[in-house]
Amino acid sequence: MEGEVDGLVPEDPGRRRRVHGMLKLYYGLNNEGKDPEQSESLDPCDINGPHFDPEVYLNKLRRERSLAELMDEETCMVKQIRSLDSDMQTLVYENYNKFISATDTIRKMKNDFKKMEDEMDCLSANMAAITDFSARISGTLQDQHAQITKLSGVHTLLRKLQFLFELPARLNKCLELQAYAQAVSSHRRARCVLQQYSHLPSFKGIQDDCHAIMDKLAQELRQKFRDGGSSAKDLSECVELLLQLDEPAEELCDKFLSHARSRLESDLQSLEAEIRPYSSTSSVKDASARRQSTAAAGSPSDTSPKMSSLPSPNTDILEFIDRGCNEFVSSLCLVITSYQELFINHAQTGELASKNIPQMANGKLHAFVDDLAVRYFSIVERRIQEEKGVGDNSLLVRALDRFHRRLQAVAKLLPGSAVPNQGTEIVIRAATERVKQYLSALQSFYMDSLTDVRQALATPRLSVGASVTGGGTHLGGPVSSRDAPTSLPELLSSLSASILNQIKSVLASVHLFTAKDITFSNKPYFKGEFCSQGVRESLVVSFIRFVCHSSRQFCESGGDKGGSTPPALLLLLSRLCLDYETSTISYILTLTDEQFLVQHHSPVTPVTTLCAEAREAAQKLLNHYVKVQGLIISQMLRKSVETRDWVNTIEPRNVRAVMKRVVEDTTSIDVQVGLLYEEGVRKAHSSDSSKRTFSVYSSSRQQARYAASYTPSAPMDTNLLSNIHKLFSERIDIFSSVEFNKVSVMTGIIKISLKTFLECVRLRTFGRYGLQQIQVDCHYLQMYLWRFVSDENLVHFLLDEIVGSSAHRCLDPAPMEQSVIEVICERG
């Protein structure tokens, strides 16, 4: 009702709402409570509120308003009441017609429903009649229906029976036509029935017939399977059928694999046969030529025919690997694919999947592949091991690359297989082995070059005596053959250059392992460990170590007599090591690091350590050189002192020849050392040392010492002066380390020689002329040796000691006049 009111009053919503609200109030429909005004207006003075109390309102108005206001209020209220009344009237008019029409409608409906009721009754009566009829009809048709059903059942049964009876013949026919699939499906359909009714003799007969035929069929299938010549598709069909015939899958797998194995093994055998007759060092050229020709002739990927392989004795490694890849690996891949096709992928789709066949088959396949791969790897490895010549690394690298690459195919086919990893390991081993071979090749190269150098040193050369500076020229005697092998520096530079070249070429060869186009070069091993541990450490560093070590061995094993190693070689090696220390090592290592972009994960030998080793070796060699040369001169001096009868010698007229020899040798050593080492620093010479004839020797100090020892009255003072002198002079280490320069080396050699002279003199007893001879000899040495040493006082001191000692050991010490000595020495 209210809705209608709403619809019919198209007034502005505000007013309508209010009107509506008031009407509602009026009719007591206060259940909505939506209007905020209503809930708020508890004020009894609110004329619109529900709790309006006219009395209170009037009292309030009267109390609060003036008369005029009251009057106004009254008119206003009257106005409002009037408008409300008119509103009410309007509403009543508006709705009156609707009420009327509604009443009419209801009345009409009442009449219609009555009519309808009658019709419905009629309908239900009709329906009852129909049901009755229908029941009667079905009752009459019942019997016929049952008969028809029975008949159709018999018909089906008969058809089945016919199928069964015809089955053997049909199967036979299939067999004849080789329609195996049809036969199998037919048999499968009949199988259960026959099984079920096998107690009936006729069925039994049929079953037996069928079995016989199916056995034959299975036999034939197996035969076909075994022949294996058939195409993969046939084979797969075969296997599928056999599986359907309840042939055990495991057995089939085994058969398949063993069949494949026999073929693969023949491949392996032919490979193996190739290794055996391999004679290791025979013509590589020939082999590579053959490789070229085979590569040209047959496409290498051609897999189907087993290359008519009479094992050729000298296949090179690349050819060998090629064959291995083409025959073995590709057949293996084929086997894997077809096997997977047959037993794994196929089985997964069919009902066979439930029998865990894929897993089983997979396991078998892995075992099979692993087994064969192991054999293959062992053959390959044996072949690789035979690859000893370090001539052409690229061949090996390419072979390994191919080997590795082909294994990737297996990896793709058999994701979980360990085969590719094993293959990578083989490659790694081969690479490591290669590095080792290169190291030993480098080492033997080094030793060979040393032998060459040794020979070059040993072969007598045209002496360059004429150009020898200083002492050599005036000696008159033939300049010794040890003198200045023309080209010590040349030898050194050629030696060091050839070693460096060799290292470079080896590095280049080894670098092939990490070339970008090689598949295995991106393996972490080849990126990291191979570079740092393999190449840097075990090749380059080891070689440098070897150089140092072998150099040191020259010092130790060379025999203390210094016979076995020519001193010049010692000197040369020492310079070589020193050069290594200063530049070559860091150069080589930088080169290596650059070429191989080594990222050092593990600690590597730092350059400084190697340099220190090289320096140590250089030092040892130089010390040993000094020692050996010193000993050679010492030996001369010692023999000369020991073999002479110094008591009964004649008055000296000449410098003894051995002294000349000493000076000669010293000069030639000086030249030799000068070729390789810098001059070095000497202490400032006294002004007169540049003159050939200087007279430090006859200094007053020396004279005083003689005097003291000749005066019989002062036996206690004999040693006093010399002791005091020694107190103030530095202690001399005879066999001490030398510095890397010529002066230091020469000082060392002269020290050793003179000290020997001194000790020998002290063991002898001298006559007057013996002493004088020593005086002459010492003066002669003095004249020539000072120029070689860093501190000429050292020579003075040692010679003083010699003369002093011989004076002590003299029975009749009457020294020779200094002037006479000088004259004798001048005369030479």
Which residues form the interface with other proteins (CB under 8 A)?
559-561, 631, 647-648, 712, 715-716, 718-719, 722-723, 726-727, 731, 733-736, 755, 759, 762, 765, 767, 808-811
Give 440 or 719: the residue with its C-beta nearer to other proteins: 719
Q: How far is the CB of 554 from other proteins (least distance, A)?
A: 15
100: number of CA atoms within 13 Å, CB side? Answer: 6
Q: Is 443 exposed, middle or buried (0-12, 13-18, 19+ CB in 10 A)?
A: middle
What Cα–Cα distance (Å) separates residue 344 from each residue in 358, 371, 515, 537, 681? 5, 20, 39, 48, 87
Residue 412 or 561 having the CB closest to other proteins: 561
Closer CB to other proteins, 376 or 769, in the complex: 769
Strand partners, 810: 766
DSSP 3-state assignment of 414? coil
Q: Which is nearer to other proteins, 586 or 718 (CB)?
A: 718
Q: Residue 527 corresponds to which tokens in the numbers above?
A: 């990126």
Beta carbon of residue 618, minimum distance to other proteins (angstroms, whole number): 19
Rounded Cα distance between 200 and 524, Å, is: 73
Name the residue nearer to other proteins (CB basis): 534 or 630.
630
The backbone region for 278, taken as left when phi is positive above 0, alpha when psi lies in -120 to 50, beta otherwise, is: beta
> How near is the Cβ of 667 to other proteins at its closest, in Å?
25
Read off the tokens for 153. 């059942």
- Nearest approach, Cβ of 733 to other proteins (angstroms)? 4
Min separation Cβ 627 and other proteins, Å? 9
Residue closer to other proteins, measured from CB, 485 or 566 = 566
Tokens of 641: 């002192």
Q: 424 near 404, Cβ under 8 Å?
A: yes
Here the tokens at position 233 are: 């598709």
Q: How far is the CB of 578 from other proteins (least distance, A)?
A: 23
**Least distance to other proteins from the beta carbon of 643, Å?**
9
Name the minimum Å distance from CB 631 to other proteins.
Answer: 7
| Residue type present at position 556 | E
Contact 818, 695 (CB under 8 A): yes
Question: What phi, psi does 230 have (nearest 5°)?
Answer: -65, 165
Q: How far is CA 93 from the centre of its chain?
A: 104
The alpha carbon dihedral of 799, 802, 805, 811 has a sign of negative
Give the CA distances from residue 748 to residues 84, 269, 560, 627, 753, in Å, rounded to whole numbers and listed in that order. Answer: 144, 70, 17, 8, 9
Spatial separation of the C-alpha atoms in residues 587 and 573, rounded to whole Å: 19
Measured from the CB atom, the residue of 503 and 810 that comes closer to other proteins is 810
Can you tell me the distance from the alpha carbon of 73 to that of 242, in angstroms, rounded to the nearest whole number?
Answer: 115
292/765 with CB nearer other proteins: 765
Q: CA-to-CA distance for 75 and 754, rounded, in angstroms?
A: 157
Q: Which residues on adjacent β-strands are paired with residue 766?
A: 810
| Nearest-angstrom CA–CA distance, 78 and 97 | 31
Nearer to other proteins, 30 or 711 (CB): 711
Distance, CA of 815 to CA of 703 (rounded, Å): 9
- Least Cβ distance, residue 722 to other proteins (angstroms): 7
Query: Could you tell me the smallest distance in angstroms from the CB atom of residue 707 to other proteins?
Result: 14
Q: Which is nearer to other proteins, 730 or 817 (CB)?
A: 730
In the complex, minimum distance from the CB of residue 696 to other proteins, in angstroms, rounded to a whole number: 22
**Are the CB atoms for 274 and 315 separated by under 8 Å?**
yes
Element of type H or E holding 184: helix 180-196
- To other proteins, the closest distance from the beta carbon of 747 in angstroms equals 14
Residue 133: half-sphere exposure toward Cβ, Cα within 13 Å: 5
Min separation Cβ 823 and other proteins, Å: 27
- Rounded to an integer, what distance in angstroms lies between the CA atom of residue 495 and that of residue 489? 10
**Choice between 61 and 647, CB closer to other proteins:** 647
Q: What angle do CA 673, 674, 675 make, to 5 degrees?
A: 90
The nearer residue to other proteins, 103 or 648, going by C-beta atoms, is: 648
Which of 414/810 has CB closer to other proteins?
Answer: 810
